[in-house]
Amino acid sequence: MIQTEHQRRAYLKALGIDVWVPNADAAADADADVAVVAAPGGSVADEGDLDWSQLRAAVSACTRCALHKSRTQTVFGVGNQQADWLIIGEAPGAEEDRRGEPFVGRAGQLLDEMLRAAGQAREQVYIANVLKCRPPNNRDPEAGEASACRSYLERQIALLKPKIILAVGRIAAQTLLQTDTPVGKLRGKLHHLGDIPLVVTFHLAYLLRSPRQKSKSWQDLCLAMDVVAGRAA
């Protein structure tokens, strides 16, 4: 999707960001293929041969951890299954659990604005979470829960073959990169999950509480755009 400079500035204004705007044509110029390997911390297990529909069915029937007892439904993921961009959050919230779709409500609206500012529509990217079930009372995911879900996410990554992963928030970033480094020290630089470039940005709930930090998230998006366009190694 090619946007005019006027449209891009309008989206940035909606985000409350007053920064330079990269060239839209250059941001959309992404031709290089990126090989996908198994993510660190373990390879795809039983899900290794499943296609998208089989994987969705496996997630829907999952009872690997206690979260299946309290969920309304699983939240598998949504978007373009040939997307260059993969957005990964931590876990479904109450509204996501009700609707079966990640990043809805105010956080979803903000994500949509951020993606449009980066020249992407929600329908163009793929969006998933580390956990496929909602933790009670929206608490942080436990290590065992993330481990139980890991092979599902790894299979999604292997099927998708994204050119960039955007890890949204501390839990997602630390789980994917297997580190306890604070998100403030993880963002602003390029990481890799196997051979796939990964950029870390702030949790959307944090940005809603602290709108002045949106400019830093825009910097993260610029880095992700540079990676996809071949301007960053």
The CATH number linked to 182 is: 3.40.470.10
Q: Give the integer Cα–Cα distance in Å for 34 and 32.
A: 7
Q: What Rg, from alpha-carbon coordinates, does the chain have?
A: 17
Q: Distance between alpha carbon 119 and the CA centroid of its chain, in Å?
A: 16
Q: Give the integer Cα–Cα distance in Å for 161 and 158.
A: 5
Instruction: Convert 24-43 to b/e letters by CB count within 10 Å (16 or more is b).
Output: beebeebeeebebebbeeee
- Give the chain's domain count: 1
42: left (phi over 0), alpha (psi -120 to 50) or beta: left
Type of residue at 170: R
Q: Give the integer Cα–Cα distance in Å for 136 and 156.
A: 25
In a domain, 233, yes or no: no
In a domain, 46, yes or no: yes
Domain hosting 121: range is 5-228
In a domain, 124, yes or no: yes
The tens place of each residue's pLDDT in the chain, 233 residues long, gives: 444 555 555 545 555 555 444 444 433 333 333 323 333 333 334 688 999 999 999 999 999 999 999 999 999 999 999 999 999 999 999 999 999 999 999 999 999 999 999 999 999 999 999 999 999 998 999 999 999 999 999 999 999 999 999 999 999 999 999 999 999 999 999 999 999 999 999 999 999 999 999 999 999 999 999 999 998 76
User: Helix, strand, coil proportions of the chain in percent (round to 5)?
Assistant: 45, 10, 40
